[in-house]
Amino acid sequence: MVPERSPSLLDLPSGRLDLSRRQLLGGLGLATAGVAGATTQMGVGPVDGWTPSFGTWPHDRYGPGNAAANRHANAPDEPTVAWRTQPVGQVESIVVGPERVYVGGEVRRDGRHPGVAALDRADGDVLWTANTGGATLALRRGSLYAAAYWGESQELVALDAATGDRQWGSSVESVRGLVVADGTVFAGSHYRLTALDADSGRTLWTGDGGLPAVADSSLFVSGGGLRRHRQRRVSDVLTHGPPPVEWNVSGGGGLVSPAVASDVAVVGQRRPPRSDDPSVYAFDLDTGERAWTAATPPEDAFPVLTCSPAVGRRRGFFSYRERQGSDRYHALVACSLDDGAEQWRWESSDWVTEVAVGGETVLAGTGADSDTPGEGRSRLLGFTPGGDRKWSFETDYDVRAVAPVAETVFVGTTPDDDEGGPGVVYALR
């Protein structure tokens, strides 16, 4: 499949807009700015991605491509607790800036704990809190964007990252994933994907639902498969429409963030529609062709993907639960990004709730599963890229967020509903 040519800035669908080029540019105040000026002022053309600054973890899944892998990190070989704090009720997201660590979760009905907090990176002191949902966070250019899918506060908001002051709020709610790129906040949910101006919160366009990623100068969206969007055109801006779709392929179901590597995007499905369907799919970035599948279980194994994949060191890392009753178990699996071949696995009686890569260490968080035979334990484990277990750190509650930065691993944990709270944040060094 050869991608179609992307329209130029002045390509307008026949019969859709009866405007000459001069009228169009004049009406937009761009007649003297030229094509380059139009691109800058209107946000048409490719979506400029970016690479996180050294020593940061600015999105839930590291950067806009959701790789959940920081090759600059140097996770400790024998981690100890540098500091421990309980700033919010549930810790479901962690992002890290040069000086502060931001944590967030849902705001519960009892209102006893805030939804978002900023911590001093050195000692964990609470610098400010906000009573807004922050189960998904993104940090970009001095602003912290926060949203949640459940809880008492679900709206997407922008906060001043230094002070916590509210910069803007929006009517967008029930968000499961955020990506900020090219001056735009992409907010994904089951039912819609919304693009908002990062400075004002103004809605730019809405499209079909899914979770976003930005890589290779394009927007990718997962949800029942994967689609790649083409460059946005002037006509899309005028009609407040989403950018056109380059390709759209099926494979993967449920909302799992796509993890984009240099040549493939890896997506998963929480619950395959059939008991013997694959749980993980990889698609070629250019063509959308299916490159490989992984975690194809035997019949009646009933696999359930338990967290979004991570991609790093030419491997994909994912976790799933398989089988029922006394045969039920959980697994962390590493596969080749070239062909999907399984390279190693670690099996457990616990949910594998989070996977990330920090330098030469694969990090896996767990949570107790009372329905699986075995001892239930909440912990963070470190593995070599080849699958050798390096260490295990016991946590108070189930691990929900992991961010390896420099020589520190920040870990967020969340109690079960009947355990009260608040959640615990650790800095391991």
Nearest CA to 402 among 93, 114, 151, 145? 93
Q: What's the confidence (pLDDT) of residue 409?
A: 98
Cis upstream peptide for 422 (omega within 30°): yes
Q: What's the residue count for the chain? A: 429
Which of the residues in the chain have pLDDT under 50? 1-41
* pTM: predicted TM-score of the whole model, two decimal places: 0.88
User: Tokens 């239930």 label which residue?
Assistant: 376
pLDDT in tens, 293-319: 987 766 666 677 888 999 999 999 999
The CATH H-level (homologous superfamily) assignment of domain 21-47+68-428 is YVTN repeat-like/Quinoprotein amine dehydrogenase (2.130.10.10)
Nearest CA to 67 among 251, 267, 225, 210? 267
Q: What's the confidence (pLDDT) of residue 108?
A: 80
pLDDT in tens, 116-162: 999 999 999 999 999 999 999 999 999 999 998 876 777 999 999 99
Q: What's the confidence (pLDDT) of residue 320?
A: 85
Q: What's the confidence (pLDDT) of residue 8?
A: 36
Mean pLDDT over each residue of the chain, to the nearest integer = 86
Q: Please name the amino acid found at residue 412.
A: G
- 138 Cα distance to chain centroid: 9
Q: What's the confidence (pLDDT) of residue 127?
A: 98
Contact, 213 vs 260, CB < 8 A? yes
Q: Please name the amino acid found at residue 232.
A: R
